[in-house]
Chain A
Amino acid sequence: MIRNLIILSLGSALINNVVLSQFLGLCPFLGVSKKIKTAFGMGTAVIFVITLSSIVTGLLYEHLLVKFDITYLKTIVFILVIAALVQFVEMFLKRFVPPLYKALGVYLPLITTNCAVLGIALTNVSKDYSLLEGTVNGFATAVGFTIAIVILAGIRKKMQYNDIPKAFRGMPIVLVSAGLMAIAFCGFSGLL
């Protein structure tokens, strides 16, 4: 059981990395990766939201959608639930856990439209994960996201000192480095 969960989390964190092989959450990956600190903040917020949304959507799917046989509505339900959840979490943190809100507050609204959140909720459903598996999967995927974004931020920091062809400055060179990272992450497929 635990072994399965470990394998599952390794798979979703490293082998099928959410950004580098599934291209979900690409926008924050490219946009928030200029400093390691902000990248880490974003990663933490993503871990928080994705884990929470995995639990909530998992519960909803099991106890509402399946029960009433309306699973075809999952896309609509999930996107609304996620949007509402992020808002609610933001308000809750602001009111009751101010330090955490200070750390994550800015990132939370931006995650609403992050396709990784919806993507993971849908993956959990399509792969018939149990609630626990789904939560672990969500958590591990988000950890994978954090790993990738922090590494990219580090690379970009080093890259500032390099002489880059003019047309490749800015986004193109970042995309090239992301591509190289993706090649490196392909190597993890021999892990299991």
Chain B
Amino acid sequence: MNNKQDENRSLISDLSERLLNGMLKENPTLVLMLGMCPTLAVTTSAINGLGMGVSTMLVLAMSNLIISLLRKIIPDKIRIPAFIVIIASFVTIVELLMKGYIPSLYSALGLYIPLIVVNCIILGRAESYAYKNPALLSLFDGLGMGMGFTFSLTLIGAIRELLGSGKVFNVYVMPEGFVPVSIFVMAPGAFFVLALLTAIQNKVKEIGERHGKDMSKIQSGCGGNCLACDKSCKVEMIPEEPESNIETEEITETENITETENITETENITETENITETEAIPETGDLSVETEDVKNVKKAVPLAGFLARFKEKFEKRSEGSEKKSEAKPEKNKKKSEDGDKERKKSDSKSENARKEKSEKVREESESLREEPETVEEKDENIEVKEEPANEAVDPSSDTEISEDSGNNGPETETDPEADGKTEEKSPEVYNDQTLTEEPSDPETEQTKETGENTDSFESKDVTETPNASEMSEKTETPVADITDDQDEMEIWDISAYKRAIKREIPSGKRPGKKKKAMEKAQKMLNSALEAGKEDNND
């Protein structure tokens, strides 16, 4: 008897947690910034916002319920079309009901009712929640999300209606002398209200991060992540469920969309960057001292990291469906071709060390925010480490960068495969190596590191700057770039680079072609540098 009561109680708490989650913690409009098209289009008045919100909620709850009930029947490979059909059916039902019973609202909302089908909230919840959870929870998840959506639409609608016509829910509330700012009920007003909302959101995020809270869920605007709407939703759920990342890849592969996979990943990267950028500003106190060149290098080096990662991605694909375990020997092979066995050893050792440390790190349960920075830094540092062994250190940083982008595909191969957390400690391995310039002596470095904690890179860099300025520039780069780059890390640009590099870098490694490819890569990076110069104004 008691057991049953307990079960009931836990179920109820689960359900209410779902409702609250949708309304507050993951509010689709105000926090996740999803489904912006209807948000802007129909919020000319509070009543329209309410109507749109309620119809979306109905569709969301019902489709969540049905998808959850059918989740064992729907084959994995065709689930997206199946979801779309289910959602579209409910949208049609809602449309017909509204046409029949509330014709005035139907005519006000018009086109946007059928367009609920392409609202990314619905497909996102279906994919990330309903497909994996039991029916009742999914229903309440849909209800909670829908209520959050309804609430925010009504709020935005009320603000616009109040400013634009002095009314709320068609009741005149403003004082006599109020002159309506009618632009707010017209199309441009929607953009202004949304701009204000995102600005407030940015501020909240910044304040929250200053207090050390995890604000990674807050998205800075639709544009950064809502490109392929359904995909973006899946990306967003990654913090909760790391598996979903793999799944998105599967989907894209089954659909023969080879490109989107990369795109989702770049989205990932850009998102994480956005998360870190505000954080990094107060930490790098010495930013203002740096010269323009330093900043330019900073600009370029992470790009090189990106390029390397993309190239590696392509190589992987060209090798077919190789698994992790197979990829690593492959990498070692390539290195032994270089005839640099010491480095290989050190690398594998540092990898081991990385793994060991990653466990520690997990115990420490570091905040998510720190990961992206370190991931970046790791890439940089790998590249830096590479150079002293391969060839003499080139004083002009630009050429180095281009070489990195050309050469370093194999070296960075493990990066995406390594667990997100394992990468957290690794930078220091390379960091120490680069700073002390003793790549052949990994053990001492590792011991050094284990002594050190994940304390700030910045302080280390600052102390080292006079000794090896070039190196420290590089190690600093990611942080600074993240601060500078904010939204300049255009995922489209990156995918463009990626494509260009795919074209340019030949598969056969003949030196002449390689050189050409490098030159081209350098050109691209230079243009990227120029594009990035504006940040020096800060």
Contacts and interface: CB of A to CB of B under 8 A. Distances in A.
Q: Are A and B co-members of a single complex?
A: yes
Interface of A: 20-35, 37-38, 42, 72-76, 79-80, 83, 87, 90-91, 102, 105-106, 109-110, 112-115, 118-119, 122-123, 126, 160-161, 163, 165-176, 178-180, 182-183, 186
Closest 3 CB pairs of A and B: A171-B221, A30-B223, A179-B191
Interface in B347-365: none
Contacts of B96: 72
A114 B229 CA distance: 8
B223 A174 contact: yes
- The SS class assigned to the B binding surface is helix
A170 B198 CA distance: 9
A119 B113 CA distance: 10
Given A28-B227, A170-B486, 15 more contacts: A23-B38, A27-B227, A30-B221, A35-B490, A112-B228, A163-B537, A169-B202, A169-B486, A170-B487, A171-B487, A175-B194, A176-B195, A179-B189, A179-B191, A179-B195
B117 A175 contact: no
Contacts of B529: none
25 contacts: A22-B111, A27-B222, A28-B227, A30-B221, A30-B223, A31-B224, A31-B225, A31-B226, A34-B487, A34-B492, A72-B92, A79-B84, A79-B118, A90-B257, A110-B263, A113-B230, A160-B534, A160-B535, A170-B221, A170-B274, A170-B487, A172-B202, A173-B195, A175-B198, A176-B195
Nearest to A157: B531
B108 interface: no
A31 B486 CA distance: 14
B395 interface: no
Contact of A172 (B199, B225, B488): B199
B452 to A, nearest CB: 33
B222 A171 contact: yes
B346 to A, nearest CB: 38
Contact of B198 (A38, A122, A126, A171): A171
Contacts of B230: 113
Contacts of B493: 34-35, 38
Interface stretch (B155-163, B180-188, B306-314, B457-465): B180-188
Contacts of B111: 22, 119, 122-123, 126
Contacts of B384: none
B486 to A, nearest CB: 6
B189 A110 contact: no
A175 B191 contact: yes
B220 interface: yes
B534 A161 contact: yes
A115 B188 contact: no
B134 interface: no
Nearest to A178: B191
B195 A110 contact: no
B37 A110 contact: no
A167 B204 CA distance: 9
Contact of B37 (A20, A27, A80, A176): A27
Interface string B242-275: 0000000000000111011001000000000010
A80 B81 CA distance: 7
B37 A83 contact: no
Given A113-B230, A175-B192, A178-B191, A27 B223 contact: yes
Nearest to B493: A35
B114 A87 contact: no
A34 B40 contact: no
A119 B115 contact: yes
A180 B199 CA distance: 17
A176 B41 CA distance: 16
Contacts of B117: 75, 79, 118
Given A31-B222, A32-B492, A179-B188, A76 B115 contact: no
B382 interface: no
Nearest to B487: A170
A31 B228 CA distance: 10
A182 B187 contact: yes
B495 A167 contact: no
Interface in B464-483: none
B187 A20 contact: yes
Contact of B227 (A31, A119, A126, A171): A31
Given A35-B492, A175-B191, A26 B537 contact: no
**Residue from the set B81, B89, B118, B495 with the largest chain A CB neighbour count within 10 Å:** B118
B88 interface: yes
A106 B252 CA distance: 13
A182 B195 CA distance: 14
Nearest to A27: B226
**Residue from the set A90, A110, A170, A186 with the largest chain B CB neighbour count within 10 Å:** A170
A24 B88 contact: no
A27 B492 CA distance: 13
Given A38-B490, A113-B228, A172-B221, A167 B199 contact: yes
**Residue from the set A29, A79, A168 with the largest chain B CB neighbour count within 10 Å:** A79
Nearest to A111: B228
B188 A186 contact: yes
Contacts of B370: none
A58 B158 CA distance: 38
Nearest to A174: B223
Contact of B92 (A21, A76, A87, A113): A76
Contacts of B40: 23, 26
Given A73-B92, A175-B195, A109 B228 contact: yes
B496 interface: yes
Given A26-B40, A102-B499, A171-B221, A110 B490 contact: no
A177 to B, nearest CB: 8
Contacts of B260: 109-110
A80 B118 CA distance: 11
A40 to B, nearest CB: 11
**Residue from the set B111, B486, B495, B537 with the largest chain A CB neighbour count within 10 Å:** B111
Contact of A109 (B191, B226, B259, B274): B259
A161 B537 contact: yes
A25 B203 CA distance: 27
A186 B191 CA distance: 14
**Residue from the set B85, B257, B274, B534 with the largest chain A CB neighbour count within 10 Å:** B257
A151 to B, nearest CB: 14
**Residue from the set A83, A105, A174, A175 with the largest chain B CB neighbour count within 10 Å:** A175
Contacts of B114: 74-75, 118, 122
Contacts of B183: 183
